[in-house]
Amino acid sequence: MDIFPPLTGFYTAIAADTRIGSSHISIYMALLQQWNVNGGNNPFTIERNLVMQTAKINSRQTYNRCMNELKKYGYINYEPSANQFESSVIYLKNIEMKT
């Protein structure tokens, strides 16, 4: 029985994806938590500082690189805010479970 399919789906998807490292996983887990707190609604807004704190990422460069790569690799849609005082918009893509 799968209690939280989005988590299982993500780990299934990344199992063979050698591009994904621990920073990507940490940020995705922070995004998944924010998605969950927002009732599982897509899209949802995030604040960079909160995601970085939750993911235990201290470098903005690492955060930006991982967010852009997660978008490029097809795990999320990411619309960064042009204003540092406004929230960015995230959409977690459905990850199909492969059996």
Question: For the chain, which residues make up each domain, given as ranges?
Answer: 5-92
Token pair for 10: 């993500």
Query: Per this entry, what is the length of the chain?
Result: 99
Q: Output the average pLDDT for the chain.
A: 89
pLDDT of residue 3: 73
pLDDT of residue 97: 37
CATH of 5-92, one of 1.20.120, 1.20.58, 3.40.50, 1.10.10: 1.10.10
Q: What is the pTM of this model?
A: 0.89
Is pLDDT of 99 > 80? no
CA distance 57 to 60: 8
E strand or H helix at 18, and its extent?
A: none
Q: How confident is the model at residue 70 (pLDDT cuts 50, 70, 90)?
A: very high
Burial (CB count within 10 angstroms: exposed 0-12, middle 13-18, buried 19+), residue 92: buried
